[in-house]
Chain A
Amino acid sequence: MNALARLRPTHLTSTGIVYLVLVLVLVLGAVITAAAGRNFFSTGNISAILTGTSILGFIAIGQTLVILAGSLDLSVPYVASLASLLGGVTMAGQTCNIPLAVITALGVAALIGLVSGLVVAYLHVHGFIATLGMGLILSGYLGTNFKGSAGSAPRDFRLIGALNIGPVPLSTIIMLVCAVLVILLLRRTRVGHHLYAVGGSKDVARLSGVRTQPPIVLAHVLCSVLAGMAGLLLLARLSVGSPTIGTQGGYDLMSIAAVVLGGTVLAGGKGNILGTLGGVAIFAVMDNVMGVMQLNAFLQDVVRGLVIVLAVAVYARRNADLRPARFDRSRAPRHTPAPTTAGSAA
């Protein structure tokens, strides 16, 4: 961390730090992998890492939106599971059913997000509670209606999970396209600007004439749809839908962790998608390297936990002293006489 502090120029943004950490993790990863006698930068390994980013990437992009709006979404793993099931069952192994299946899965996901969003925006229930409730409802529904995996994805649909363009998996490309669209939404549309405003301060937004509900609802809908896309991608990989696939991945907390690791403020109003992508990539690289090292699952979690806490501590420190220093420390001695004995200077 010390080396990092020295590296960083004073005006480095938090997204800058995220990518600096990513580079650091990449270098460490390459060294460790090389020590284990393998090539970190082999096409196969790069592709494996990128594959690792896509599912968490979808969910974390959505999570960034709700967190920026001052809310939170804990129902994403259940939405992903439900989408995988709905998609799989509707496809029933037939290529011609793919469009209908995708529309059904994403439509239901959007509806779930709409309900959560309306509850948060109009009933003033915090997103934490609203989506915790929504998650419980979905989990109950999944538990009673699906005893195990169901449905099946046709070969054409499975290609989405298997196809690579060069070393880059198709799923990652789709995820990145979504990221670009969301970035455009946040930077270049009114509702995107208002989403930051509502997350920063509802009062200020209101007094500036912003209707505070639509951005919150939109964030929840998009987050849910993106979770649904993650579910469909899981379906493409596993070729069956599963009621537990989302919870197994721990995507609720992992996505929040990735968002925070990416420099977005948990209280809302500050952050961006680029940072989140960096956070997701850091996790993917770490997972890959820990896999190569054959670290046990418990230790892997310890490492992830440490990284999250350390990262947030670094951001907190930076926010504490945002004011630029007037007197550079290295230059200081020139102005100051050597401290003399304690005496009155008047």
Chain B
Amino acid sequence: MTSNDAVAPTASTPTQPVLRATGLTKRFFGNPVLEDVTLELHPGQVHGLVGENGAGKSTLMKVLAGVHQPDEGTVEIDGQAQQFSHPIQAQQAGLSTVFQEFNLLPDRTVAENIYLGREPRRGPLVDTAAMRRDTSELLDGLGVTGLDPDRTVRSLSVAEQQIVEIAKAVSYDSRIISMDEPTAALADHEVELLYAIIRRLLDRDVAILYVSHRLKEIFDLCDTITVLKDGQQVTTQPASELDEGALVRLMVGREMSAFFPQPTPGTEVGEPLLTLSGSGNGYVDGVDLTLRAGEIVGLAGLQGSGRTELVESIFGVTPLTRGTLTLDGETTMISSPRQAIRRGLALITEDRKAKGLALGQSVLDNALGVVRSVFPGRTGEARTSMPGVLSSLEVAARSLDQEVQFLSGGNQQKVVLARWLSVDPRVMLMDEPTRGIDVGAKHAIYELMRGLAADGVGILMVSSELPEVIGMSDRILVMRDGRLAGDLPRGATEEDVLALATGADEHEEVVA
């Protein structure tokens, strides 16, 4: 992550709390998800909320926002007891929330989404011109440029959509804003934009409740940190009293060894599994790359540089129309995902809600989805091994029959991983595999990746988190504007990657 001046965490000054939650408890179907949580938010300060997947962070935010009602406990705003039965009441009381789930209407414009529910009017009619103008002003005020208020949300990139969600929450002029993993979909340089937005909010004395799995952000931003584990409040401490190691220990409950596992000794980078030469279509162009057995190749680049498009093209979502693709030494064409899967490819998508999971189905059905449809003969075998796979990923679900929609965000991501592991792919294309996943499980996924590599799987990993790209990759490919801008060996620095990604260092360009 590009280190930059963080929002200076001030030592907590004894101000009056704007929000005080006392003894909050929430159960779903009798299972406690939050137990006796007590929390204070102060104006102009950021309160960090961390914990493993399923710890109850999102549930806490939803209780505060009036989406869920607490079974026990009270919420006070400015000393006044509040009981919200609908999110609008929380908004009216001055609290708005950026939810973890996608919360926009894809077919409506940016302006319509931001002002949904409180469209400005002139007389009886909606003043669409004012709505557009206010949206532009709002975005300008947040330092966001180049986002046309008239574009439909569907046509925006995931990061732009996230920015619209944040802008929407900010536009309520609330005194309290909670943000549930607002950076999960953002690349590092976009995180800077969020920091800037948060700084502006703090200047206006807004209190912020902030959930993230990226610990650096927590330390950059937060004055106070609360750790949740299995719905229990482990601690609430000033950030200055903690460091990353201590925080991880509190979250995971154990010591963590070297964060990025090294290649298992004896792992040999073998034969080329997948080779592209001069490949392209409408979205990517002139791609030359080789992925060998046992190798983890990182695919870095700015948001919109074509990384997702490249892995989707390889996987046959938008088939390649130019160049040659060689798989296991055989020139071939992949024209659909089904064909890709049959040839031993797997794609873990970036956008799990839209492309990865059937939310209304059970954990087990989702995990078996791919095997069932592509290799029906292997379903029985996969069914027997699946519980083991799921528990090795530390999926926190009540049972395998639980509907996926009731899992926490991070646990949903793990189910996506499980469904692809069950087809024994030779080539794994991973698009942001650890997005929204807690540190403990992240580590588990890294080890899993190394394990797969040791078994001769070739992995192409897209990631917006530079430490992850650098820590995990044996080689890094950098994309820019739909083309490969260069190839970096293990040991490259964040600066090297960024230089290629932004084109700042043209002369150093190495064509793969």
Chain A interface (Cβ within 8 Å of chain B)?
184, 187-190, 192-194, 196-197, 200-201, 203-210, 265, 269-270, 321-323, 325-329, 332, 335-340, 342-346
Q: Shortest Cβ distance from B116 into chain A, in angstroms?
A: 4
Please name the 4 residue pairs, one residue from A and one from B, whose CB atoms are nearest each other, closest first. A325-B282, A209-B88, A209-B117, A342-B331
Q: Shortest Cβ distance from A344 into chain B, in angstroms?
A: 6
Q: Shortest Cβ distance from A338 into chain B, in angstroms?
A: 8
Whose C-beta in chain B lies nearest to the C-beta of A192?
B126
**Contacting pair B105 A189 (CB below 8 A):** no
Q: Shortest Cβ distance from A128 into chain B, in angstroms?
A: 19
User: How far apart sit A295 and B433, CA to CA, in the bound complex (Å)?
Assistant: 59
Q: Shortest Cβ distance from B153 into chain A, in angstroms?
A: 10
User: How far apart sit A343 and B272, CA to CA, in the bound complex (Å)?
Assistant: 10
Proximity bits, B135-169, A CB within 8 Å = 1, else 0: 00000000000000000001100000000000010
- Provide the residues of chain A in CB contact with B193, threshold 8 Å: none
- Provide the residues of chain B in CB contact with A188, threshold 8 Å: 125-126, 128
- Cβ-defined partner of A326 (8 Å) among B107, B117, B306: B306
Q: Does B316 sit at the interface, judged by CB under 8 A?
A: no
**Contacting pair B99 A339 (CB below 8 A):** no
Q: Shortest Cβ distance from B431 into chain A, in angstroms?
A: 15
Q: A190-B126, A346-B290 are in contact. Are A339 and B318 (CB under 8 A)?
A: no
Q: Does B473 sit at the interface, judged by CB under 8 A?
A: no
**Contacting pair A339 B277 (CB below 8 A):** yes
**Contacting pair A207 B99 (CB below 8 A):** yes
**Contacting pair B121 A204 (CB below 8 A):** no
User: How far apart sit A41 and B482, CA to CA, in the bound complex (Å)?
Assistant: 51
User: How far apart sit A205 and B324, CA to CA, in the bound complex (Å)?
Assistant: 47
Whose C-beta in chain A lies nearest to the C-beta of B329?
A342
Whose C-beta in chain A lies nearest to the C-beta of B99?
A207
**Contacting pair B322 A332 (CB below 8 A):** yes
Q: Shortest Cβ distance from A270 into chain B, in angstroms?
A: 4
Q: Does B326 sit at the interface, judged by CB under 8 A?
A: yes
**Contacting pair A327 B318 (CB below 8 A):** no
**Contacting pair B277 A335 (CB below 8 A):** no
A-B pairs under 8 A by CB, number: 138
Q: A190-B119, A323-B283 are in contact. Are A200 and B276 (CB under 8 A)?
A: no
Whose C-beta in chain A lies nearest to the C-beta of B283?
A326
Q: Shortest Cβ distance from A345 into chain B, in angstroms?
A: 4
**Contacting pair B126 A325 (CB below 8 A):** no
**Contacting pair B108 A345 (CB below 8 A):** no
**Contacting pair A336 B323 (CB below 8 A):** yes
**Contacting pair B285 A327 (CB below 8 A):** yes
**Contacting pair A336 B283 (CB below 8 A):** no
- Provide the residues of chain B in CB contact with A207, threshold 8 Å: 67, 87, 99, 103
User: How far apart sit A322 and B283, CA to CA, in the bound complex (Å)?
Assistant: 12
Whose C-beta in chain B lies nearest to the C-beta of A343?
B277
Whose C-beta in chain A lies nearest to the C-beta of B322?
A336
User: How far apart sit A206 and B88, CA to CA, in the bound complex (Å)?
Assistant: 8
- Provide the residues of chain B in CB contact with A332, threshold 8 Å: 280, 285, 321-322
User: How far apart sit A10 and B330, CA to CA, in the bound complex (Å)?
Assistant: 36
Q: Does B284 sit at the interface, judged by CB under 8 A?
A: yes
**Contacting pair A335 B87 (CB below 8 A):** no
**Contacting pair B125 A204 (CB below 8 A):** no
- Provide the residues of chain B in CB contact with A184, threshold 8 Å: 125
Q: Shortest Cβ distance from B99 into chain A, in angstroms?
A: 7
User: How far apart sit A216 and B116, CA to CA, in the bound complex (Å)?
Assistant: 16
**Contacting pair B280 A335 (CB below 8 A):** yes
**Contacting pair A327 B290 (CB below 8 A):** no
Q: What are 11 A-to-B residue pairs whose CB atoms are below 8 Å?
A: A188-B126, A190-B119, A193-B119, A200-B106, A200-B108, A204-B105, A327-B282, A328-B282, A335-B280, A346-B288, A346-B290
User: How far apart sit A306 and B489, CA to CA, in the bound complex (Å)?
Assistant: 57
User: How far apart sit A332 and B87, CA to CA, in the bound complex (Å)?
Assistant: 50
Whose C-beta in chain B lies nearest to the C-beta of A270?
B107
**Contacting pair B67 A189 (CB below 8 A):** no
User: How far apart sit A335 and B88, CA to CA, in the bound complex (Å)?
Assistant: 53
User: How far apart sit A189 and B120, CA to CA, in the bound complex (Å)?
Assistant: 10
Q: Shortest Cβ distance from A147 into chain B, in angstroms?
A: 46
**Contacting pair A345 B280 (CB below 8 A):** no
- Provide the residues of chain B in CB contact with A189, threshold 8 Å: 124-126
Whose C-beta in chain A lies nearest to the C-beta of B62?
A207
- Provide the residues of chain B in CB contact with A342, threshold 8 Å: 275, 277, 324, 326, 329-331
- Provide the residues of chain B in CB contact with A326, threshold 8 Å: 282-285, 306, 309, 481-482
**Contacting pair B482 A327 (CB below 8 A):** yes
**Contacting pair A210 B116 (CB below 8 A):** yes
